[in-house]
Amino acid sequence: MVFDEVGRPLRPAEREAPTAGPGQVLLRVHACGVCRTDLHLMDGEVDVPEPPRVLGHQIVGTVDGGAQRVGVPWLGWTCGECRYCTSGRENLCPRARFTGRDIDGGMAEWAVADERYCFPLPDGPSDTDLAPLLCAGLIGYRSLTMCGDAPRVGLYGFGAAAHIIAQVLRWQGREVYAFTSPGDAAAQGLARELGAAWAGGSDERPPEELDAAIVFAPVGALVPRALSALAPGGTVVLGGIHMSDVPAMPYELLWHERSVRSVANLTRRDGEEFLAIAGRAGVRTHVTTYPLERANEALDDLRAGRFTGAGVLVPPGGGR
Ligand SMILES: [Zn+2]
Ligand SMILES: [Zn+2]
């Protein structure tokens, strides 16, 4: 499924299977998650430098169609030489290339990936259950680490990332406060099922002050709202790649050492840490699956909030 230009749906195309170059692996794709970032790419809010491009950056596949199952995340290549790469911050590498943006991604039957950016995956869970861990889980985890050891954590936007991170927070013994679109009873129900202490609309105030909040929804107006729910010293972490403008706000919302920060991409270390934690915490994803050729429907449903949890595409023969 190919992205051609902003404002157009993805186009089904028949292509020759790609071939792996030095240091790369050819993957038979078994599943690929859809992500809010895919919508930002299709809407032109995040640039796709060289279309046409196969999107998709939560790939579960097997190397050369064999038994070894690996996952490919958004970070697809870094230079290894710059001051960010050499100081444990490869997520900020200015030359980084991203899967499904600069490199053809997983909305396909085959994909080529740099072998250094493939994570070994555990045997137990299904392909479709694992796919959302590779962006929703991973970027969610990096956002979570920015919250320090905050005991009460608010999650604004209870979709793919939040439903995974809520499970990690509960396993760590912390309280989860889930904020959904006003009136989204299905997402609030899922949050309570996963152990949230409270679930309500993003226009509501939580019953307790929060020590940290992660904003996953791409809505800048949530920044002052999340700050106003925060105890002194608390942090608001912005987990998305794009957000509508943050409105002007009184300094009082930041006063008392409250802070706001963004999270960009991931490092391979985040991936190794998170996949280990997800296994120990017994994270179970809630997925809605679509055949690959219905990618546009999956993306429309994501945009409209028609499924809870995560959406995953399955190519022909995939999805064990
Ligand atoms: Zn993503
Ligand atoms: Zn670099």
Phi then psi dihedrals of residue 265, to 5 deg: 60, -145
* Dist CA 97 CA 73 (whole Å): 11
How much is the mean pLDDT over the chain? Answer: 97
CA 96 / ligand 2 centre spacing (Å): 6
66: confidence class by pLDDT, cuts 50, 70, 90: confident
Q: What is the pLDDT of residues 182-209, one digit of tens each?
A: 999 999 999 999 999 999 999 999 999 9
Tell me which ligand sits closest to the C-alpha of residue 133. Answer: 1
What is the DSSP-derived secondary structure letter of residue 211? E
25 close to 112: Cβ distance less than 8 angstroms: yes
Q: What is the pLDDT of residues 293-318, one digit of tens each?
A: 999 999 999 999 999 999 999 999 88
Tell me which ligand sits closest to the C-alpha of residue 142. Answer: 1
* Dist CA 128 CA 33 (whole Å): 8
136: confidence class by pLDDT, cuts 50, 70, 90: very high
205 close to 230: Cβ distance less than 8 angstroms: no
319: confidence class by pLDDT, cuts 50, 70, 90: confident
CA 15 / ligand 1 centre spacing (Å): 24
CA 147 / ligand 2 centre spacing (Å): 26
What percent of the chain is predicted at pLDDT more than 90? 96
Q: What is the pLDDT of residues 3-37, one digit of tens each?
A: 999 999 999 999 998 999 999 999 999 999 999 99
Tell me which ligand sits closest to the C-alpha of residue 240. Answer: 1
CA 159 / ligand 1 centre spacing (Å): 12
Q: Between the CA atoms of 159, 98, 117 and 240, what dihedral angle is there, to the nearest 10 degrees?
A: -30
60: confidence class by pLDDT, cuts 50, 70, 90: very high
Supply the pLDDT for residue 317: 85
67: confidence class by pLDDT, cuts 50, 70, 90: confident
Tell me which ligand sits closest to the C-alpha of residue 93. Answer: 2
Number of neighbours of residue 247 by Cβ within 10 angstroms: 10
Q: How deeply is 102 buried, as exposed, middle or buried, from its count of CB atoms within 10 A (0-12, 13-18, 19+)?
A: middle
Residue whose tokens read 């793919």: 160
Tell me which ligand sits closest to the C-alpha of residue 41. Answer: 1
Residue whose tokens read 């985040």: 270
Supply the pLDDT for residue 65: 67
CA 134 / ligand 1 centre spacing (Å): 8
Q: How deeply is 212 buried, as exposed, middle or buried, from its count of CB atoms within 10 A (0-12, 13-18, 19+)?
A: buried
* Dist CA 155 CA 297 (whole Å): 26
Q: Count the helices and strands in the chain (H runs, E runs).
A: 8, 17
Tell me which ligand sits closest to the C-alpha of residue 32. Answer: 1
CA 231 / ligand 2 centre spacing (Å): 37
CA 211 / ligand 1 centre spacing (Å): 26
238 forms beta bridges with 215, 262
Locate 122 and state its tokens.
């555990």
Locate 59 and state its tokens.
């790939």
CA 241 / ligand 2 centre spacing (Å): 19
